[in-house]
Structure 1
C-alpha cells in the first residue's frame, strides 16, 4: 500500500494545481480552500489561490489534497479534476489520435513530476525515471480497444478522468471502464481500464 510519505522527494508542476480549481467548476472556491489548507499556493485578497505554474510543489502534499477531495466530495469530484488535467499539463506534440493520446499520458505524467527540479522524463534524451508508477498502454489487435494498467499514487477515479479526457479529445464515441477486480482503492498495486470506441 502506497503512502504519501514515500513520495516526499517528488514534486509536481504547479500548472497541475489548476486542475483542482477547474475540476470544481463554479465552486472553484472549494478547490482553492483545499489547496490552501494543504499549504499549496498562497491566498489572494479575494480568496482565490495564487501559485506559479512553472514551479514545483510537493507531490505528497498534492496527494493529500486529492485524498481530502475524495473524503469530502467523493470520487465524482476526483474524476472531474482528472478530466481537467489535459487542459493544463504539458503533452508532447506527437499526440495526433486516440492511440498516441493514451500513449502520451505516461510521458506527460512523468514530464509533470520531478525529483530535485529534474523532470522524470526528458524529451531531449527520451529517458524516463520510474518513481511514480505508470499509465500503461496495450492496444488489442483487431479491436477498437486499449487496455491501460495504471500504477500511479493518484485516486482511481482521477486516472479514469484523465484517460477519458484524452480519449474523447480524439474520438467522441470513446468510453473508459474500470475493469472489475484489482483496484488501488482496495490495496492492489494497480487498476485496469478499458478504453473503447466505435
Structure 2
C-alpha cells in the first residue's frame, strides 16, 4: 500500500493508536490534534474507531509541515510507551508481534500487513505494506529491535533495502534490513 493511502474506504483505526501518535508528537501535541481535527477526528477516545484514511491524511500533513524526523519519533515512541505481555520476551517474538499488534488496532480487509523473517543468523527483514509512512515504520522497528535486542547484538543496524521499490518511492511495501 502506498504510504498515506488506504486501499479500503471503510478501514478504521482505534483511538488508542491515534492517541499514541499524539503522544509521540511530544511538544507538538497541539499540532497533531489540529491536523486530526482538520481531518474529522476530534478528541480521539480509546475504544472508539475512526477513519484510517482520515488518520493517514493527518500523518501526511505532519510529514509535509513538521517533517520526517517527527514521523520517525512517533514510530519510535509507540513501543517505548507500550506495556508488553510477558510472553514477548525475545527479539524474534517481539518482531513477529508487530504485525499482530497492527491487525488488532486496525479494522479492514485490505489494510496491509507487517511481516518479520530471518535472513541469516544475525540478520532479518521486516516488510511493511501498511499505509503508515516509512519514517514512522523505521522508528517503530528501531524501538522494538532495541527494546528486545538479541543477546549477541551490541548494535542493530536498520536500513531500507535499496534494491527494492519502497513506499517512499511509490511502492506498496517497505523492506527493512536488520543486521548485527
Bin the TM-score by the shorter chain. 0.7 to 0.9
Q: After superposition, give the CA deviation of every residue in 1:65-87 in whole Å (9 maximum; x if it has no partner).
A: 11111111121111111112225
- Aligned residue for 2:41? 40
- Aligned residue for 2:31? 30
2:139 is the alignment partner of 1:146 = no
- Aligned residue for 1:167? 145
Q: After superposition, give the CA deviation of every residue in 1:37-82 in whole Å (9 maximum; x if it has no partner).
A: 22212xxxxxxxx321111111010110111111111211111111
2:159 aligns with one of 165, 177, 188: 177
Q: Distance in 2 between matches of 1:54 and 1:79?
A: 25
TM-aligned CA deviation for residue 155 of structure 1: 0.8
Bigger drift between 87-96 and 171-180 goes to 87-96
Taking the TM superposition and a 5 Å limit, the aligned residue runs for 1:26-175 are: 26-41=27-42, 50-87=43-80, 94-115=87-108, 131-141=110-120, 143-171=121-149, 173-175=155-157
| Structure 2 unaligned regions, length at least 5 | none
Q: Is the 8 A contact 1:140 1:146 kept in 2?
A: yes
Q: Is the 8 A contact 1:136 1:149 kept in 2?
A: yes
Give the number of aligned pairs. 174
Q: Is the 8 A contact 1:16 1:89 kept in 2?
A: no
Q: Give RMSD over aligned pairs.
A: 2.2
| Structure 1 unaligned regions, length at least 5 | 42-49, 116-128
Alignment TM-score, normalising by the size of structure 2: 0.86
- Greater relative CO, 1 or 2 (CA 8 Å, sep 6+): 2
Q: Distance in 2 between matches of 1:192 and 1:106?
A: 14
